[in-house]
Structure 1
Amino acid sequence: MSELDRKVTAEFSGYTVRKDLVSKVKGNALVPSYVLEYLLGKYATTTDASSVQAGVERVRAILADNYVHREEANLIQSKIREKGRYQVIDKVQVALNEKLDQYEASFENLGISRVIVDSQTVRNNPKLMVTGIWCMCTLVYAYSGDPKEVPWRLHRLMPVQMSHDDRENYLAMRSRFTAEEWIDLLMQSVGFNPAQFSSRAKMLHLVRMIPFVERNYNLIELGPKGTGKSHIYSEFSPHGMLISGGEVTAAKLFVNNTTGQIGLVGFWDTVAFDEFAGKTKKADRALVDIMKNYMANKSFSRGRNTMQAEASMVFVGNTSHNVPYMLKNTDLFEELPAQYHDPAFLDRIHYYLPGWEFEQIRSEMFTSGYGFVVDYLAEILHNLRNVDYGSAFERYFTLSPSLSTRDKDGVRKTFSGLMKLIYPSGEATMDEMEPLLRCAVEGRKRVKDQLCRIDSTMAEVDFSYTRAGVAEPIVVHTLEENDYPELYWRGRLEDYADDGNALKPEQSSVISAALEKTSDTTVSEIDGSITPIPVQSQTISRPESVASAVQSMTVLQPKLSRIERAAAAAREGRLEFSEDQLGVTYNKLFCAFVAGAHHITLKDPYIRKPYQIRNLTEFLETVLNYTDRGEEAQVHLVTGYTDEQHIDNQIEDLNRVQSVFDQLGITFTYEFSDTGHDRSIVTDTGWIITLGRGLDIFQPYDSDWLNPLTRQQRLRRVKEFSVIYQRIQPKS
């Protein structure tokens, strides 16, 4: 146990569980994590190894005996009949049979319906009437002989969730932890190992939790696949509902005009739309209009009555392109269906969570440490929705007066949510509040800056704040704004050129950063030397417009970019290298031929072992260095399987490479071929490189990270090999 684990289990005895136990007991039971942790919380909350093991076995036995697998539904029905009564774990939904004036339950996996439920059970658990909840139920079989009568009787129903409010104890225990310890505890509570994440990554993970603790919070997250965008909304809390973005109607989401029954927003703290992105998807225009009104005013109207609800709305979806491509060609909302790619809808979003900053989920990211039983934490967060810390920062900070009401509302709600997660008492110092405020401002700025691209009539604002007693404002930037300043401001150059508006402070600082990048020494490895490219030094203190600043940047650029210079050096021919030769690098061998390429196919049957996977990553680094980040580069690998004993490791390593380079703008895919033997690189710029040894050109070396050979290919000795470069017809 770590020091944090010991502290957690001591202070929150009975409310914590070892997080790796969930995977140990789950098996093939398709139940949410909070159901399993509810059981583990009853039988395995101690730290004693033998007691934990006994608890795990007890939970396994309960799942084996009581969890209903759909394929075993007939068997469980038989057990209920033969034993007279039987306890099951299943998802239960209730509907009113108005003809008989009675409530009737249906069991999702067990496959039975019309089970009579008493009115008090429905009043105690209203979510039974919406989409159903997971329950532990005792069913009785009593056949009366009447074929019209259902023989199943519900003897007892117990929702799998905690119902008591433990906030007083929770707040008292929070004071015994530092902020860093508490954040790590929250990370472990949702199943992640905090040691695997940076401070920024932890903060972004906490933003995913804000909809559970903040009423009427509107969050969007778009990013690559496999980063766990929807996981927390389906597994973390019994107060959250995850639905497919294309499978919801106004009646289901808001109110059914026929019955007058309120929809999902009236019963759940968080309604999350999975797979929300997709340009070809269609959405009901009326639904979009109702949603816009609800997101802005917390109310909706269908028919004569106006109703209110508190559910937060979360929209998660996948992106098809990397960030620089979107910034250069469209906007960061480009993947949304046309009906939602609407300034009026998007302006109601409080926070745009950058999904591209999350790594793809890997096994080592999960924790084996202790965290809160998720249902306990979910109940605390549910009850904290009653408090508001949105104005707590105003004693120390003042937001820019140029922010609109919606901008300020987005900042305040995000800040309030983070405060309730990290400082649930509402008390924090100026220095403790500032990172939360910056995070809140950044997420709303990401929304507003993209809106200005989409709608030219949208007024730009200054996303800054001032500290108490300090006159100079502190400007907040998004990370992609700092990474790609010349692309981030692309859409507004003409407007500034026409009206001569002065450069805003936030734009001035970004342009200055871009100018500093322009004057850096450029490195060319085509001939193995470091060649400084002289760049005229010029200082721009306050250009009259963004356009003039970018024009100044253009003047400072060399006539040919590094990529263009590399491509110009490509020649047909053959190169041979002798055994033990030094100074050979992938940059020397390949940069001229992959420069500016959009599609590259690498055939090498021996990308199998760890050192060969490393060769692959170093080749992808060359592609990264010599392709345009504003365009997308796709690299497809055709390789062979390793032996059966190590095939899982090979696939896991290739998936990790895929995840890492996807974040950097290189789309890496792979396939396996049993018959492939040739080794080559083919580019859409018209080159085929025949590789005698494939990428495996280096002799074995000590891969200890202290060894400079691990970082500098030119220091490694090579095996004897040859390379042939041929010009072919480039793809159109």
Structure 2
Amino acid sequence: MTNLEDALSEIDVLAAADMTDTAPTKSALDDKINEHFAGAVVRKDLVKAVRGNAVVPSYVLEYLLGQYAASDDEATIQAGIDTVRQILATHYVNRNEHMLVKSKIRSKGRHRVIDRVTVTLNEKNDVHEAEFENLQVKGVIIDDVTVKQNPKLLVGGVWCICDIEYFHSDDQRVVPWILGSLKPIQVAGVDIDLYHEARKAFSTEEWVDLLTQSIGLNPEQFTDRGKLIALTRLIPFVERNYNVVELGPKGTGKSHTFSEFSPNGILISGGEVTVAKLFVNNASGRIGLVGYWDCIAFDEFAANRRADQNLVNVMKNYLANKSFSRGTSIFGAEASMAFIGNTTHTVPYMLKNSDLFDELPDAYRDPAWLDRIHHYIPGWEVAPIRSEMFSTGYGFVVDYLAEILRAKRSEDFSDKYKHYFTLDSSVSTRDQDAIRKTFSGLMKLVHPTGEATEDEVRVLLEFAIEGRKRVKDSILRIDATMRDTPVHFRYADVTGAWHEVSTLEESQYPPLYRRNWDAAPHSDVGSGGDEVAPVPGESAAAGPVGGDASDAAAPTRPADVPLAEGHRDFSAGQKGISYETLLLPYLRGASKITITDPYIRMPHQGRNLADLLSLLAAAKDDAEEIDVVLVTTEQPKAEFKQNQLLMLKAIKDASDAVGVRLSVRLDDTIHDRRIETNHGWRIDLGKGLDIWQKTSDNPFDFGRNRQEFRLIGSAFTVHYVKIPVTPELEATL
């Protein structure tokens, strides 16, 4: 039996993207970009074209493309692509070919390589030594001048183009590898004044699209809000000491910006960091990552359940004061921090049962630590990345933009809103600082000259307020003592009119969001307080069906849906049959469901599955979750297998987003078709979920959207069996 994720990992998902040899049609925006930023932009789809099996960050590839293919002339681009491919084929070191490259260096005496280089100080011999990650060579002597010019070699490592020489010695203590030259892969310098001047030629909408394309995303696939969320990930690169959290579903590109975008940022595992690595090593006195990087991102932060309390305390002081003490010394640094992780629950579930920081390790759910966070990016609003969401237009060479953002870190745009707006006086100093830093970062990105209209400023200010409000409201759920002083997240315009700012989830789930603050922080909605109004769209019939009718707490079921053991027969050509009447009454109230059907392969079969999952989502309470396991077989034909797996992944993404958490198991030994629930029902499906004839080609055929109008394909029987609810049943499901 194979999981869907394992099956997908065996397939190159990028092959599903529309990769053609013909160049994409240039837009008017692309022409304007090339006109004003010639030589500093590149067509974004070229990265995929040249990457091959080179496991390097995008900024390394775009650095090379910027050298040879930064043009809108197709002939120049193709020649540049060929050159970059040749450079990668000749000089990039594949880890599994390191011995071949070593042999080449030995035979030639000297060879140029592209590799990640890390430097350590050999205190015994008083020399710096370089280690090449993919070449798997260490102990290479590197001169102090080179290390001083590139201090990041000492912390985290840097991608470089190096000349390596080989000279064998009979002395076993001497490393035969000699570093001839080292050049970090980064832009030498940028003209910030030219950047500002060129910005004036673009409207705000065009500029936001340019930035969106620059980080590799297709702006046509995103709303204005979606673009703003994507750009917020860049604030740590342009704003000093900025602290941001993003929690959301898997596959939404949270870590991509921090791992691929900039040579000035580093992505580390949240579970691997230590005080010595992050801040300072007391033994050596050497400062850690915060002293060398503009942005430090902690990946899989929510998965780190064991946190070092000492690290939390030191980090808490740093996040608040930009400094930290170790031993008798106090150090300062400017590194911003981004904490990214996956959520396993839906937003209404978190709002009902805990708070939006529910996934963080307990040590980090300290209100004092959380209060240092300037902005909470709602990762659940970001759609899982699909092939059409990648940009094929022109954008900045990411290394060029990274240097621009670094140059603007010294500027402060935090008060640019004050000409038009005033924050409410109830907003605390720490809340105001958080809002201003987010606003400043967005202004530097979208309006780098600091000039913007009132409406343009309003959009950025409201977004900054919303992100901080999301942090503060979650803290109020955790710490009841902070509720004593009411805070109004609002602003006044020049007329004196007040404008309230709310989060999107606050508008979507008001009964869950505005639960009684007098209740215990982790109690159910409405407990210990006034009765809470039902969630919009929730019906009385959404609860368990077939329970004890005398149980006043159980919602009543429709009287015309008898839940009894037995069977139902259906004839070919019959109409009026839908999952809503055939299956849903027996599935309501279950929290775990297993669907076994060997034939979920074709698009219409995937549509049937999605229809059933959407019924489950509509029937449950918004704040509840259902676990669904699909057991099916893998498409035997290789040419169709990829489409099946991608279809199942797309259904999973859509289902997970609404609280029906789907997992897929691929088992080629199954033959039966059934549905089992953890509340005591088994439905034996004669023909599985695929029971209807193909609908007509008429795009307005009612059967396309309503199952009741479809014709049954061939006769089948459905058996409903009541089974004992036991711990063993729960375990098998």
Asked if these proteins are the same fold (TM beyond 0.5), I'd say yes
> Among residues 370, 385, 406, which one is paired with 2:430 in the alignment?
406
CA distance in 1, matches of 2:560, 2:367: 41
Offset, 1:384: 1.1
Of the three residues 638, 642, 652, the one matched with 1:658 is 652
Alpha-carbon displacement from aligned partner over 1:150-208 (angstroms, at most 9, x marks no partner)? 33332221110113132111111111112222112112111111112222211111111
Residue 640 of structure 2 corresponds to residue 615 of structure 1: no
Aligned to 1:572: 565
Which residue of 17, 27, 31 corresponds with 2:42?
17
| 1:662-677 alignment runs, 5 A limit | 662-677=656-671
Cα deviation code 1:103-123 (max 9, x no counterpart): 322222222233232232122
Q: 1:313 aligned to 2:307?
A: no
State the match for 1:2 in structure 2. 27
- Residue aligned with 2:356, SS: coil
Look up the match of 1:235.
260
The match for 2:581 is: 588
Q: Residues of 1 paired with 2:698 and 2:91: CA distance?
A: 51
| Residue in structure 1 matched with residue 90 of structure 2 by the alignment | 65
Per the alignment, residue 439 of structure 1 pairs with 463
Give the aligned partner of residue 501 of structure 1. Answer: none
1:321 and 1:93 map into 2 onto residues whose CA distance is 39
Q: What corresponds to 1:636 in structure 2?
A: 629
**Mapping of 1:692-703 within 5 angstroms?**
692-702=686-696
1:456 and 2:480 correspond: yes
Aligned partner of 1:537 in structure 2 is none
Contact 1:563 1:626 in 2 (8 A): no
Distance 2:555 2:693 in 1: 30
Aligned to 1:729: 724
Cα distance between partner residues in 2 of 1:560 and 1:712: 33
1:24 counterpart letter in structure 2: A
The match for 2:79 among 54, 60, 74 is 54
Partner of 1:35: 60
Whole-angstrom distance in 1 between the partners of 2:557 and 2:330: 62
Mapped partners of 2:560, 2:436: distance in 1? 50
Find out whether 1:627 has 2:651 as its counterpart: no
Secondary structure of 2:303's counterpart equals coil
1:411 & 1:567 partners in 2: Cα distance? 55
Q: Does 1:599 align with 2:592?
A: yes
Mapped to 1, the partners of 2:421 and 2:560 lie a distance apart of 51
RMSD of aligned C-alpha atoms? 2.6
Distance 1:46 1:294, change over 3 A: same
Instruction: Give the drift of 1:565.
Output: 5.0
Q: Report the Cα distance in structure 1 between the residues aligned to 2:482 and 2:196, rounded to whole angstroms.
A: 43
How far has the Cα of 1:61 moved from its partner?
A: 1.2
Q: Is the 8 A contact 2:244 2:338 kept in 1?
A: yes
Task: Find out whether 1:253 has 2:246 as its counterpart.
Answer: no
1:202 maps to 227
| Deviation of the 1:715 alpha carbon | 2.8
CA contact (8 A) 1:196 1:365 kept: yes
478 and 34 in structure 1: CA distance in 2 versus 1, 3 angstrom threshold: same
Deviations 1:464-493 (A, max 9, x none): 323423444222222222222222233514
Comparing 174-183 with 342-351, greater Cα deviation is found at 174-183
Structure 1 residues 140-151: aligned runs within 5 Å: 140-143=165-168, 146-151=171-176
Shift of 1:560: 7.6
CA distance 1:252–1:522, shift in 2 (3 Å): closer
Relative to structure 1, the CA distance from residue 562 to residue 697 in structure 2 (aligned partners, 3 Å threshold; closer, same or farther) is farther
Residue of structure 2 in register with 1:420 after alignment: 444
CA shift at 1:726, angstroms? Answer: 2.3
- Report if aligned partners of 1:243, 1:271 keep a CA contact under 8 Å in 2: yes
CA–CA separation in structure 2 for the residues paired with 1:560 and 1:92: 64
Supply the distance in 2 between the matched residues of 1:580 and 1:524 (Cα, whole angstroms). Answer: 30
- 2:135 is matched with which residue? 110
Q: Indicate whether 1:286 and 2:310 are aligned.
A: yes
Percent sequence identity over aligned pairs: 52
* 3-state secondary structure, aligned to 2:481: coil
How far residue 57 of structure 1 moved from its aligned partner, in angstroms, is: 1.6
- Residues 15 and 606 (structure 1 numbering): CA distance in 2 closer, same or farther, change over 3 Å? same
Partner amino acid, structure 1, of 2:682: I
Instruction: Work out whether residues 674 and 682 of structure 2, in 8 Å CA contact, stay in contact via their aligned partners in 1.
Output: yes
Given that 2:147 and 2:153 are in contact with CA atoms closer than 8 Å, whether structure 1 keeps it comes out as: yes
Instruction: Give deviations 1:599-655, integer Å, cap 9, x for gaps.
Output: 111111111101110111101111111122222101111112223211101000100
Deviates more, 1:664-673 or 1:148-157: 148-157
Contact 2:132/2:138, CA 8 A, preserved across alignment: yes
Structure 1, unaligned stretches of length 5 or more? 497-507, 527-558
* 2:3 corresponding residue in structure 1: none
> What residue number does 2:9 align with?
none
Equivalent runs, 1:468-483 vs 2, <5 Å: 468-483=493-508
Change (3 A) 1:524 1:722: farther
Q: Separation in 2 of the partners of 1:477 and 1:705? A: 41
**1:458-607 alignment to 2 at 5 Å?**
458-459=482-483, 461-490=486-515, 492-494=517-519, 569-607=562-600
The Cα of 1:145 is off from its aligned counterpart by 5.1
Q: How much does 1:100 deviate?
A: 3.8
- The 3-state SS of whatever aligns with 1:52 is helix
Query: Per-residue CA shift, 1:389-432, capped at 9, x if unaligned?
Result: 11111111111211111111111111111111111111111111
* Distance (whole Å) between structure 2 residues aligned to residue 229 and residue 386 of structure 1: 26
Matched, 1:646 2:640: yes
Match of 1:340 in 2: 364
Point out where structure 2 has 5 or more consecutive residues left out of the alignment. 1-25, 522-529, 544-551, 728-733
Q: What CA deviation, in whole Å up to 9, does each residue of 1:56-115 have, x standing for no partner?
A: 121111111111122222222222222222111111122233444433222222222332
Contact 1:704 1:710 in 2 (8 A): no
Give the secondary structure class of the aligned counterpart of 2:639. coil
Paired letter, 2:462: R
Task: Tell me the CA shift for residue 456 of structure 1.
Answer: 0.7
Number of the residue aligned with 2:411: 387
Using the TM superposition, give the Cα deviation of residue 703 of structure 1 relative to its aligned residue in structure 2, in angstroms. 6.4
Distance 2:488 2:642 in 1: 47
Q: Which amino acid aligns with 1:408?
A: Q
**Separation of aligned partners in 2, 1:424 and 1:264:** 28
Matched with 1:135 is 160
Name the structure 2 match of 1:350: 374
Question: Match of 1:95?
Answer: 120
Give 1:694 shift. Answer: 1.6
Question: What is the distance in 1 between the residues matched to 2:559 and 2:180?
Answer: 77
Which of structures 1 and 2 has the larger relative contact order (alpha carbons within 8 angstroms, sep 6+)? 2
Q: Deviations over 1:294-345 (max 9, x none)?
A: 0000001101121110000111112222222222222221221121111111
CA shift, 1:592, in A, is 1.3
| Closer/same/farther in 2, CA of residues 461 and 136 from structure 1, 3 Å limit | farther
- State which drifts further: 717-726 or 372-381: 717-726
Per the TM alignment, residue 11 of structure 1 is displaced from its structure 2 partner at its CA by 1.9
Equivalents in 2 of 1:569, 1:169: separation in Å? 74
Question: Which residue number corresponds to residue 322 of structure 1?
Answer: 346
Report the CA distance between 1:363 and its aligned residue: 1.9
* Closer/same/farther in 2, CA of residues 163 and 328 from structure 1, 3 Å limit: same
Task: Give the secondary-structure state (helix, strand or coil) at the position aligned to 2:119.
Answer: strand
Aligned AA for 2:658?
L
Instruction: Report the 3-state secondary structure (helix = DSSP H, G, I; strand = E; otherwise coil) of the residue aligned with 2:302.
Output: coil
Task: Give me the whole-angstrom Cα distance separating, in 1, the residues matched to 2:534 and 2:424.
Answer: 27
Where 1:300 maps in the other structure, the secondary structure is strand
Give me the whole-angstrom Cα distance separating, in 2, the residues matched to 1:87 and 1:731. 65
